[in-house]
Structure 1
């Protein structure tokens, strides 16, 4: 079974630091956590960083375009039609390898709508979350390796002392 102590420590420390920093800089704290989760859900590493970030950003941009179209729509059911089209596009774009992480695209769309259409705020927090993902993974592996080295036996056990 894989050990998660190292990544747990790195995520815990970085989560606390991000929360404090994002509050001080008036960034959207929770959005980064969703992007961070997408990094891990997309498999982690360089591939998880690229796929998670690309999918999140594409979802945000499609939602932004839908919001622009909805500003012009005045008929009943316009929102339902826009959401239906968004769902279709978010799935179909997955034919492109870069955008193949469908949950990340849906998350990006939800993030945009969940922040009341804050395009720049969402994009900044998504990038921060993706970067937190890669940093926490690398740092977590280093922490885990240090634990693994200290708990591994270093040689044969000493012989018991003779009793007189």
Structure 2
């Protein structure tokens, strides 16, 4: 069985489980899928997991800064200005290798806005999603090792 089919099986099974358990656990299913997508988009494996989680979390932080400062100044103009400033920050932080996954930062940010600023729920859901991505990736690798023809095993 090919690596992509093994990965697809693993992703399908674990995504189905996530879809089933996330809401009863009080988590945001869609934010979990954002975390999972972020994991894969960051390149996966342990390095991608670390980069995805850290960038997602900084995105949550910057979104909360936008929300808090906008509420403090109380105008839509302030919200637009803060959005511009912190969008700059979200891109500029990529000068640091560990913070270089800009899409992951925006994933954390838009998830926070989409959840109405419920940052605690977003953080837990994103972390679960990152775990979903990691374990589905590792599950695909494991399945492939089991099902590859013995002539191809090293």
TM-score category (smaller protein): over 0.9
Match of 1:148? 148
1:50 is paired with a residue whose SS is helix
Q: Which has the greater radius of gyration?
A: 1
Q: CA deviation at 1:3?
A: 3.1
Q: How many residues align?
A: 152
Q: Which residue is 1:32 aligned to? A: 32
In 2, distance between residues paired with 1:87 and 1:153? 48
Distance in 2 (CA, whole Å) between partners of 1:34 and 1:102 is 14
- Residue 42 of structure 1 is matched in structure 2 by 42
- How far does residue 75 in structure 1 lie from its aligned partner after superposition? 3.7
Equivalent position SS for 1:24: coil
Instruction: State the alpha-carbon separation in 1 of the partners of residues 56 and 9 from structure 2.
Output: 26
For structure 2, the 5+ residue unaligned runs are none
Unaligned runs of 5+ in 1: 155-164
Answer yes or no: is the 8 Å Cα contact 2:70–2:76 preserved in 1.
no
1:76: how far off?
A: 4.5
Q: Could you tell me whether the CA contact under 8 Å between 2:6 and 2:143 is conserved in 1?
A: yes
Q: TM-score, normalized by length of structure 1?
A: 0.87
Q: 3-state DSSP class of the match of 1:23?
A: coil
What's the CA shift for 1:107?
1.0
Bigger helix share: 2
Residue equivalent to 1:20: 20
Extract structure 1 runs of 4+ deviating beyond 6 A. none
Does 1:54 pair with 2:40? no
Deviation of 1:131 after TM superposition, in Å, equals: 0.8
CA drift at 1:70: 1.1
CA distance in 1, matches of 2:37, 2:74: 37
